[in-house]
Amino acid sequence: MKKEKKNSRSNFYFFVIVIAVYAITALLDLPTAIRALRIFADILLRIAPVLVLVFFLLFLTDLLISPKKMVKYLGRESGAVGWCVAIVGGIISSGPIYVWYPFLADLREKGMRPALAATFLYNRAVKVPLLPLMVYYFGIAFTAVLTVYMILFSLVNGYCTEWLMENPPGR
Amino acid sequence: MDPVQSARKTLTSFTQMLPIIIGVLLLISLVNATIPAEAYAGFFTGNVLIDPVLGAAFGSIASGNPITSYIIGGELIAAHISLTAVTAFILSWVTVGLISLPAEMDLLGKRFAVTRNLLSFLFSILIALLVDLTLTSFGVSL
């Protein structure tokens, strides 16, 4: 509860700082601030459905998934299943990366291992609906090779993140 | 668990997270409004080792829809910027989030966020080199 209050306060301070940055920008260069606000409105409209989806996922996990189940599928003992869930989950999740932080924070609290959270986030780089566009710009060979490396390195990224968290350099 | 209680709990935590998500969104919009897409090409040096690092650095700062990174990447290739630099750029665009780092630190922990982003930055350079090497060894050029 205390931690939640502290987080809520730091979230509010962060927001106030961002508003202050905008106020300074508006004073120095009003057209840029207005352009930024238009971009903001545009992005907000686009991500609104994803935010709603994340809200429902948070609600469903709270309602249906117990920490015990979470540990089984995404915990330390989850093995290959856990890695596969993280890879597929990361690839199929849509919208910007930051809207998924609350969902992952909730899963982490319930016992998801850090390696799988990092792997999930890395696989957000593999955008299946955008693959045709990547092929158009860079060709099929580049797209195929890059996609394979991204998926392989998502595992390395996950493993290394967890290892470095548990064995910080200089300790 | 009681659905009403679950919904109330979710709503409370979601409301607490909103200022940080909106804040990150505002910052991303400001960066996009300040740095025009065509400005990126001017930063590259032509050095095979420095350019991938620069590509990864710009991709880490920039943010937004990955489509934009593909378009900028396509323009950079047309401007004869190296494939490793462009690959590092489009890869770090989606894997490293410097602007969303405060949100990630707040929600997922400082150590996790910093470690993950640093590794993603390094891997974007490494993968860029590997992609170039793989394509070259198969005789593929863009």
| B-chain residues near A37 (CB < 8 A) | 29
Alpha helices (runs of H) in A65-139, residue ranges in sequence order: 67-74, 79-92, 101-109, 114-123, 131-138
Mean pLDDT on A124-138:
86
- Tens of pLDDT, residue by residue over B43-64, are 888 888 899 999 999 999 887 7
| B-chain residues near A10 (CB < 8 A) | 106
Following DSSP, what letter does each residue of B60-101 receive, concatenated?
A: HH--S-HHHHHHHHHHHHHTT--HHHHHHHHHHHHH--STTH
Domain span holding position B128: 3-137
> Is the CB of A149 less than 8 angstroms away from the CB of B127?
yes
Q: What is residue A83's predicted lDDT score, i.e. its pLDDT? A: 95
Whether the full predicted model's pTM is greater than 0.90, yes or no, is no
Side chain identity, residue B69: S
- Tens of pLDDT, residue by residue over B100-113, are 898 899 889 999 99
Q: Is residue A1 scored above 50 in pLDDT?
A: no
Q: What is residue A8's predicted lDDT score, i.e. its pLDDT? A: 66
| B-chain residues near A17 (CB < 8 A) | 23
Q: Is A159 on the interface with B (CB under 8 A)?
A: no
Domain boundaries, chain A: 1-64, 67-166
> Is the CB of A32 less than 8 angstroms away from the CB of B34?
yes
- Tens of pLDDT, residue by residue over B81-132, are 899 999 999 999 999 988 889 889 988 999 999 999 999 999 999 999 999 9
> Is the CB of B26 less than 8 angstroms away from the CB of A125?
no
Q: Is residue A116 scored above 90 in pLDDT?
A: yes
Would you tell me which residues 37-66 of chain A have a C-beta closer than 8 angstroms to some C-beta of chain B?
37, 39-40, 43-44, 47, 51, 55, 58-59, 62-63
Mean pLDDT on A117-145:
90
Q: What is residue A81's predicted lDDT score, i.e. its pLDDT? A: 92
Does B42 or A81 have the greater pLDDT score? A81
Instruction: Kindly state the tokens that stand for B19.
Output: 């200022």
For helices B3-34 and B101-108, what crossing angle results, to 10°?
Answer: 160
Say if residues A141 and A105 touch (Cβ distance below 8 Å).
Answer: no
- Tens of pLDDT, residue by residue over A3-62, are 555 566 777 888 899 999 999 999 999 999 999 999 999 988 888 888 888 788 888 877
Mean pLDDT on A120-146:
90
Number of continuous H segments (helices) and E segments (strands) in chain B: 6, 0
- Tens of pLDDT, residue by residue over A152-166, are 999 999 999 999 999
Residue in chain B lying closest to A137 (CA): B74
ipTM value? 0.83
> Is the CB of A164 less than 8 angstroms away from the CB of B115?
yes
Q: Which of A30-44, A88-102, A115-129 has the lowest mean pLDDT?
A: A88-102
In a domain, B142, yes or no: no
Mean pLDDT of chain A: 87
Residue in chain A lying closest to B111 (CA): A165
Residue B16: CB atoms within 10 A of its CB come to 17
In a domain, B99, yes or no: yes
- How sure is the predictor about B19, in pLDDT bands with cuts at 50, 70 and 90? confident
